[in-house]
Structure 1
């Protein structure tokens, strides 16, 4: 790649377009944005879903964490985003981020982050379970698409990127709980097609209740679920996972060992260093306790408690997830109502 006397980008015409694309795959984000000005062809290629997905996996850039937090402004919430460089100075190096206009218009009170994958952030918004939609935002190139969720009743939705086709997908699982059928209706939305399509239904046992708590790893979405049939004497349901394979589009059930099956308190799914992690947050007297369990190798029998973190009850508000090196990330509120990580 060369420049002319006017410092404009120019690529020799004799280099085949396929080779040019292979070359630019190795460029950093800022250089790619400049390359979109080369031609309409390059603009279309660089902004395509397949190129964005493959570039995010291939290019080993400095790891950033995108944080979303809400501030209570006189009974009205304001959403804020900040990019934090995950290095030795974490969390001191914070960078301002340009938020897409569509993302800024999301109502903070009725929205949350559904998930993230391949550099994409999926935000979920629901107003009284009527006007329900997902926003898939690429903060690098400032693109955001809105996907309405049809018939939002008795359902959960998951987000991920298919590892084979690099297509962005949403899966909607509906439990109608009718007298005639206990089957789950399964619908899949692919960004490439722009439509929802129905796939063969799945018949679970009646006792399984799904939650929106999910994580995606290696092309599989894991939903945290409860099995009411396995209640203990104290009334605790059995914890389990329901899975959705983004390639085969098949549903599965994963039953956890007893060490995890009957945990009480707040449970949250996440990923840690290429492994699925379950965060167990609970209170023990005057202390707040956080256990981190991870799954390796032969899933799920390989689960192990990685570590336990204990702190005073008011020391933090929420567990956000993990850094690239595996350290736990916590958020707490200051007396001035600011959020600290």
Structure 2
């Protein structure tokens, strides 16, 4: 900088407009730059500045060999060298991605800065050999804290009534590094798919069954601020007794439900306006593909959506003409076992990582 006395507020305003990767280079200019561009204030300002525009989403994919690959909006793939093996993309929020594996281990990371945080196992967790568990990840704006939520239960294997007497809910605060147990869920989460929770609008969502007569299906929303469950209306027209068998996820910032119909065709429901039943819109994928659709990842423009199939392949569905085609990216894996999306950010998974360096 030509003027070393330029006010810090002005410097933050200037640098906050630069791309994420450019900030990494600027941090290497001097100790002053590294200190300024690593403060929580700058990181928040930078993220907010870029969030006001529509941020392009990147893909993060896990292959059968457990390698992790990211694909940016220019279709450039990058293989990430991570410790351990990971099988599940739990979720992403503000540029952070939570990965998990079959041993119950969890890793919170920023795929752009490559900063990582191993999440300790909860001292409250049930014995993983005797129970089932599902995880969710999101941001609590009321406390400026990232939280991981684990639902766990013992399966009673009751054929005629809800499978669980208690659904234990454990919450991990990234800011404090502490697990705690909150009130049990009022719903039955013993669903066919042990799916990760979907974070939208300050809440993590799972499909579950209500304790009411007939045990109707519900979309259960765990609010991260008050740490309590509520319900979100399901699409009009889905079977209220059976949509618990569907899959829930986030696509382009919206809650999304995948319903594979008996004839093999797939309905992809997207909630355009959060909490409004009438805002659910349907994308139908007719069965002209050999394998069922199990997950939607992202939209490409206004006409195409990227999907993961039961055969662990990526396909692109054109919503305008109804066609399906394989997705091939140079240098990216041909098969995937799970995937998700994230946006570029400087958000660090480790609180005060630079300040403590």
Same fold (TM over 0.5): yes
Q: CA deviation at 1:314?
A: 0.9
Corresponding residue for residue 257 of structure 2? 278
Helix, strand or coil: the match of 2:287?
A: strand
Helix, strand or coil: the match of 1:126?
A: coil
C-alpha distance in 2 between matches for 1:317 and 1:277 = 13
TM-score by length of 2: 0.69
Report the CA distance shift for 1:249/1:22 in structure 2 as closer, same or farther (over 3 A).
farther
Q: CA deviation at 1:208?
A: 5.0
Corresponding residue for residue 5 of structure 2? 14
C-alpha distance in 1 between matches for 2:41 and 2:165 = 37
Corresponding residue for residue 311 of structure 1? 287
Corresponding residue for residue 267 of structure 1? 246
Corresponding residue for residue 160 of structure 1? 138
1:295-334 superposed matches below 5 A: 295-297=271-273, 299-314=275-290, 318-323=294-299, 325=301, 327-331=304-308, 332=313
Report the CA distance shift for 1:80/1:322 in structure 2 as closer, same or farther (over 3 A).
same
Helix, strand or coil: the match of 1:209?
A: coil
Deviation digits for residues 10-29 of structure 1 (CA, Å, limit 9, x no counterpart) = xx332233442333221112
Q: Does 2:112 align with 1:140?
A: yes
Corresponding residue for residue 214 of structure 1? 197
Deviation digits for residues 249-271 of structure 1 (CA, Å, limit 9, x no counterpart) = 33223464662323469622223
More strand by share: 1
Deviation digits for residues 289-309 of structure 1 (CA, Å, limit 9, x no counterpart) = 111223344725325342211
Corresponding residue for residue 8 of structure 1? none
For the pair shown, the structure with the greater C-alpha radius of gyration is 1
C-alpha distance in 2 between matches for 1:45 and 1:224 = 43
Q: Point out where structure 2 has 5 or more consecutive residues left out of the alignment.
A: 157-163, 315-325, 327-332, 340-357
C-alpha distance in 2 between matches for 1:33 and 1:277 = 34
| Matched-pair contact (CA < 8 Å) for 2:92–2:98 | yes
| Matched-pair contact (CA < 8 Å) for 1:83–1:95 | yes
TM-score by length of 1: 0.72
C-alpha distance in 1 between matches for 2:142 and 2:36 = 19
Report the CA distance shift for 1:120/1:27 in structure 2 as closer, same or farther (over 3 A).
same
Q: Does 2:5 align with 1:33?
A: no
Helix, strand or coil: the match of 2:63?
A: strand
Superposition RMSD in Å: 3.6
Q: CA deviation at 1:313?
A: 4.3
C-alpha distance in 2 between matches for 1:217 and 1:53 = 19
1:105-116 superposed matches below 5 A: 105-107=84-86, 111-116=87-92
| Matched-pair contact (CA < 8 Å) for 1:182–1:204 | no
Q: Point out where structure 1 has 5 or more consecutive residues left out of the alignment.
A: 3-11, 72-76, 86-92, 232-236
